[in-house]
Amino acid sequence: MQTQHLFTPFEIRLLRSDECPMRTHQHTFFELVYITEGEGIHHINGNGFKYQPGSLFMLGPLMTHHFTVEKTTAFVFVCFNNIYLKGITTGNEEQHSADNWMHKLEYIFQSKQDQGEIIRNERDKPLVAAIIAGIVTEYEQGPNMQKELVQQLINTLITIVARNITIKCDAKTGGDTIALQIINYVHLNIYDAEKLKAENIAEHFNISTNYISEYFKKQTSENLQQFIINYKLSLAETRLRHSNMRLNEIAYELGFSDESHLTKTFKKYKGESPAQFRKSIRGNDRPIKFKVA
């Protein structure tokens, strides 16, 4: 399995091809893939999704993918990494703004983005097409490309994706707005252990403490505390894959009592310790440099 790395905050790549541009691979960065022409199948994490002009896919770190091209296809690849996200804050903006962007992306990519084409709101599709056209126009300027403008366009795309993720979550909850609000509340407050206590969630949504877990399970088929644990462990996986954070730092950030608590919980649900997980992931990483065409 090839693993691509990104050595600049963001890169744009345009490609027109009548065959798969690369065999199955993964990246250590985020990637938006937009189809301007052509038809085929986008294989993501072992699942196949048909694509056509106007399709937009968003891939998180270490999601595997490749394409089966059925008709000559024009791809627009927009790639960006954590350095890019940190650079979003400028001047008078508060430092935590960059963290808010990272949390938004974590929310997006922990929402099972192997579900294929991302844009579900038909009204967003013309907007996405216009934004992509703007990015392509700037890219074709070559050395005169306005990077600040491209960054703003990428930021807008991320916001549109987040909105469409909400549509997917709405489908998951059967359209129940309170259940969706609880999911969003958990994502927003995942780093605040006090706000994640059942009694505080219940009070926030004016639901009985004794009933809230039953209510959440009825709407989503998942126990509330189990949902919180699963989300925390998925975030822990992200840090183990893509950072050099120590286990005690990850435990502290995600609200585990200590490193031992994190290790015990991780092993219970994942079948191996965090240290074993990190070792196995890095042992399988065979890096190649990602180059812009």
CATH code at position 77: 2.60.120.280
Highest mean pLDDT: which of 59-73, 99-113, 206-220, 255-269? 255-269
Q: Which of 172, 197, 231 is the last residue of a domain?
A: 172
Rounded to whole angstroms, how far apart are CA atoms 6 and 29? 7
Question: Is 293 within the bounds of a domain?
Answer: no
pLDDT-derived band at 162 (thresholds 50, 70, 90) equals confident
| Higher per-residue pLDDT: 73 or 253 | 73
Summarised one tens digit per residue, pLDDT across range 70-102 is 999 999 999 887 666 656 544 434 444 555 555
Split into its structural domains, the chain has a count of 2
**Two tokens, residue 256:** 């585990």
Summarised one tens digit per residue, pLDDT across range 16-54 is 999 888 888 888 788 899 999 999 999 988 788 899 999
In this structure, the answer to whether residues 161 and 186 fall within a common structural domain is no
- Which residue is it, tokens 């990494």? 81
In this structure, the answer to whether residues 12 and 49 fall within a common structural domain is yes
Q: Mean pLDDT throughout 210-222? A: 86
Residues 6+ apart with CB under 8 A from 190: 103, 196, 228, 231, 232, 235, 254, 255
Residues 6+ apart with CB under 8 A from 92: none
In this structure, the answer to whether residues 72 and 98 fall within a common structural domain is yes
- Quick check: 217 and 223 in contact, CB under 8 A? yes
In this structure, the answer to whether residues 130 and 269 fall within a common structural domain is no
In this structure, the answer to whether residues 142 and 8 fall within a common structural domain is yes
Q: Mean pLDDT throughout 256-272? A: 93
In this structure, the answer to whether residues 122 and 260 fall within a common structural domain is no
Question: Which pLDDT score, from 0 to 100, does residue 272 have?
Answer: 94
**Two tokens, residue 268:** 């219970």
Strands 2-5 and 286-289, how do they pair? parallel
Average pLDDT of every residue of the chain: 80
pLDDT-derived band at 169 (thresholds 50, 70, 90) equals low
In this structure, the answer to whether residues 54 and 131 fall within a common structural domain is yes
- Quick check: 201 and 182 in contact, CB under 8 A? yes
In this structure, the answer to whether residues 162 and 203 fall within a common structural domain is no
pTM: 0.59
**Two tokens, residue 205:** 């949504």
Domain that holds residue 235: 177-283
In this structure, the answer to whether residues 146 and 51 fall within a common structural domain is yes
